Amino acid sequence: MSDLISLQRRARDGEKLAMLTCYDASFAARVEAAGIDAILVGDSLGMVIQGQTSTLPVSLDEMAYHTAAVARGARHSFIIADLPFGSYQQHPAQALQSATRLLAAGAHCVKLEGGAIMAETVAFLTARGIPVCCHIGLQPQSVNATGGYRVQGRAHDAAQQLISDAVQLDQCGAGMIVLEAIPAPLASQITARTTAPTIGIGAGPDCSGQVLVLYDALGITPGKPPRFAQNFMTDGCDLDMALAAYVRAVKQGDFPTTAHSFGTTAT
């Protein structure tokens, strides 16, 4: 089984890390067999599983349920579980209680959204033996405050804030940092300045690894897919071939391309 330390070491050695979201035991088993490096039990389940318009309605009970299902299907994978909206922002002790629920359900790491404002919480959790993956850039739990699903960090001040956020989270013990929907040059700068591996989703090819929503990678999400997604379920391939193609494309640096990335940050 992969662990956080080995994933960090492999990233430092230049290996690209491949991650996918997953929400149930059956898909988890197939994702694991494809050679994925880490599985994210994302609160994106609110949209792709429940049909919600955002991730905000997802509860801690629901996250624990889906984490346990994934853990039963993927017994050898490194599993990261999202802390849902409202389960960690109040104070570090609340985050500890919520993280404990998800680790008891089978997660090996928890993910939370927010920049420097979450540094105290990250330090609090990691000091107590709970690995933390941080998430900055576009933060789906904050879309009501940021004007929706928009690229972040294009203006100079916003870009500098994201760099500062990443550095502070890294210094406080973040094990990984997800960078969502930010200009590729900015993601490259952040990756160069942090020891924690960066995992991109709409952040260009220079991150330490990539993550996609499983349903986007299989082309089964209703409506128009996000720019940064690619349908790997093409040319008559089956599910296992598609999953293996995603892992291979990330490892070889063939995904994402500039077509999946956002423009140059302002200077």
Q: What is the DSSP string of 33-80?
A: HTT-SEEEE-TTHHHHTT--SSSTT--HHHHHHHHHHHHHH-TTSEEE
The whole-number pLDDT of residue 223 equals: 84
Helix (H, G, I), strand (E, B) or coil at 4: helix
Give yes or no for a contact between 198 and 19, defined as CB atoms under 8 angstroms apart: no
Give yes or no for a contact between 261 and 228, defined as CB atoms under 8 angstroms apart: yes
**How many helices and strands (H and E) does the chain possess?**
11, 8
Range with the poorest average pLDDT among 93-97, 163-167, 195-199, 263-267: 263-267
Cβ neighbors of 243 (< 8 A, separation 6 or more) are 20, 30, 31, 33, 34, 36, 217, 232
What does the mean pLDDT of the chain come to?
95
CB atoms near residue 86 (< 10 Å): 14
Give yes or no for a contact between 207 and 199, defined as CB atoms under 8 angstroms apart: yes
pLDDT in tens, 31-47: 999 999 999 999 999 99
Question: Does position 266 have pLDDT exceeding 90, yes or no?
Answer: no
Question: What tokens were used for 89?
Answer: 């922002």
CATH number of 4-260: 3.20.20.60
| Confidence class for position 48, pLDDT limits 50, 70, 90 | very high
Residues 222, 83, 77, 75, Cα dihedral to 10°: -100
Question: Does position 267 have pLDDT exceeding 50, yes or no?
Answer: no
Active site residues: 180
Q: Which amino acid is at 199?
A: I
Which DSSP state fits 258?
A: G
Helix (H, G, I), strand (E, B) or coil at 212: strand
Question: Does position 238 have pLDDT exceeding 80, yes or no?
Answer: yes
β-bridge pairing 198-201 and 132-137: unpaired
* Torsion sign across C-alpha atoms 217, 222, 226, 230: positive
pLDDT in tens, 91-113: 999 999 999 999 999 999 999 99
Residue 113 β-bridge partners? 135
Mean of the pLDDT values across residues 52-59? 97
pLDDT in tens, 56-86: 999 999 999 999 999 999 999 999 999 999 9
Please calculate the CA angle 42-145-80 and round it to the nearest 5 degrees: 15
> pTM score, two decimals?
0.96
| Confidence class for position 195, pLDDT limits 50, 70, 90 | very high
pLDDT in tens, 154-194: 999 999 999 999 999 999 999 999 999 999 999 999 999 99
Give yes or no for a contact between 194 and 170, defined as CB atoms under 8 angstroms apart: yes
The whole-number pLDDT of residue 264 equals: 65
Q: State percent of the chain over pLDDT 70.
A: 99
Mean of the pLDDT values across residues 205-233? 94
